Chains A and B, each alone.
Chain A
Amino acid sequence: MSEENKENNDNPLNTGPISRRDFLKRGAVLTSGITAMVAALSPLKQLEDTFDMEEFVQKHYKELTPKEMEGVLKRIAKKVEKKYGTTPNVQDIKPQEGVEFSYALNLSRCIGCRRCVHACVDENNQSRSPEVQYIRVLKMPQGTMDMEKGDHHYNVKKVPEEGHFYMPVQCHQCEKPPCVKVCPVEATWQEPDGITVIDYDWCIGCRYCEAACPYWARRFNFSEPSIPKEKINPNMNYLSNRPRSKGVMEKCHFCLQRTREGKLPACLEVCPTGSRTFGNILDPESEISYILKNKRVFVLKEEAGTLPRFFYYFDK
């Protein structure tokens, strides 16, 4: 090695000519370093499935033009087809004129069989593992309305049990929803037919609404929802039962995809005791109006001032 080269090797910052050996060695370090860095970023590959540029730049639900909405629905359908292998019918059904939904539940008749809980999961494409359920059936000791005494983990052979009554609790679709008030990004709002909905693409997952709800009605997707492929319900709606992603809120929406088409909600149809009544409160001839006129109904946590659209009553 010449005197000049030796000098160059001593000073790594020297940009002068270097030996072939040094070039290869430094090159190897550099290449392996870059490779390691790129590899360190490899978890970002997983984002490919969840991150969607179109979704990222999508406007708020209320600002979407009908044409843009068409594109959005097509995109959702494509995504669902890719993930679950079924072609869904994704729609965006608008609320009907002169319709305001209300729900009533007869506590004397409810036997706590939890059919409603699972029919809801089946209809609304909720995650099975981890479990997301919109309805919580509280087992309450007779003689109290203290919800602190309610237990929804009861596991018995036969229901009803002696000395208890059962109180299913789900979203009450309040007229003054505290969850809507606290949303910092307006991802949740009340529709003209009384249903409080969530734009799952707009939700940032801050869970303020979950904390604000006095009925514990909101559920959060802590991890990527998993639904068996054969269990997917292809009848989907943008604001209701289309598959959600990790990190968004969801809750009962009175089976919007069914009820806006005139059908009854899934939890009502499956109830073997017929404890549930659903209908249009603006129609004086409807079943729900009959109950409000003839039964002694009450709402949960009236003092919260939320004006729920979900009524309970006792009636043997």
Chain B
Amino acid sequence: MNSSKKYYWPIIIVFVLLALSFVLDMWGKPIKIKQNPTVDSKFLSHDTVRDPLVHGAKIEQAGFKYNCNECHAYLQPPETPKKLIGAHQHIVLKHGINDNCFKCHHRTKRESLVDIYGTEVPFKQSAQLCQKCHGPKYRDWKAGVHGRPSGYWDKTKGETIKPTCAACHNPHAPKFQPIEPAPAPAGNH
């Protein structure tokens, strides 16, 4: 027998194995990419942090809805209440020197607010009340620089929606409260 002949079969087998290994993609390490969890949709929400109560306060107890006057027709609280009772228990008053209910709430018409001059202000226009003390901020808000706008920057194509003060600030404790941050970068980019 010829000496080159005995290498035929091993060569064929090596080639076939190689072919198999290439087709099955057995060479090299596959790139492992860490799958990041989907971001919770609450972090993508366009809602303001609170309900501005443009239609006045809604009181709900034991499934019944009340409006303010139903109680306050009979109950007249003192000028500076020592303790907040009933439907007001959840209220935390942290509005600086403005610590008196009747600096903002109307004394007789509970469905309305009142400004420092005694003019009745409906809940819908609460900004008119805030501006009596927070002039510079109101000016900025009017100019569209304070507050969180949405919609259009181009006024010819659509309007810029500007939520009112109470949509972000709780009038009883106006400081913007700390919130949960969205997830940190995964660090695999």
Contacts and interface: CB of A to CB of B under 8 A. Distances in A.
- Do A and B form a real pair? yes
Interface of A: 9-10, 12, 25-26, 28-29, 32-33, 35-36, 38-40, 42-43, 109, 111-115, 117-119, 121-122, 127-133, 136, 152-160, 219, 222-223, 226, 228, 231, 259, 261-264, 268-274, 277-280, 286-287, 290-291, 294
Contacts of B36: 128-131
A155 B151 CA distance: 31
19 contacts: A26-B8, A32-B16, A36-B22, A39-B21, A39-B23, A113-B182, A114-B184, A130-B186, A130-B189, A131-B188, A133-B185, A158-B178, A219-B189, A228-B38, A261-B157, A271-B148, A274-B146, A274-B149, A287-B153
Interface string B32-63: 01111011000111101100000000000000
Contacts of B149: 264, 268-269, 274, 287
B84 interface: no
Nearest to A153: B184
A112 B182 CA distance: 9
B33 A39 contact: no
B67 interface: no
Nearest to A109: B176
Given A262-B153, A274-B168, A115 B38 contact: no
Given A128-B36, A223-B33, A228-B38, A113 B181 contact: yes
B119 interface: no
Nearest to B144: A287
A278 B153 contact: yes
Contacts of B12: 28-29, 32
Given A111-B176, A273-B168, A264 B150 contact: yes
Interface of B: 2, 4-5, 8, 11-12, 15-16, 18-23, 25, 31, 33-36, 38-39, 43-46, 48-49, 143-154, 156-158, 160, 168, 176, 178-189
A85 to B, nearest CB: 18
Nearest to B47: A272
Contacts of A132: 189
A105 to B, nearest CB: 12
Given A40-B22, A226-B33, A264-B149, A156 B157 contact: no
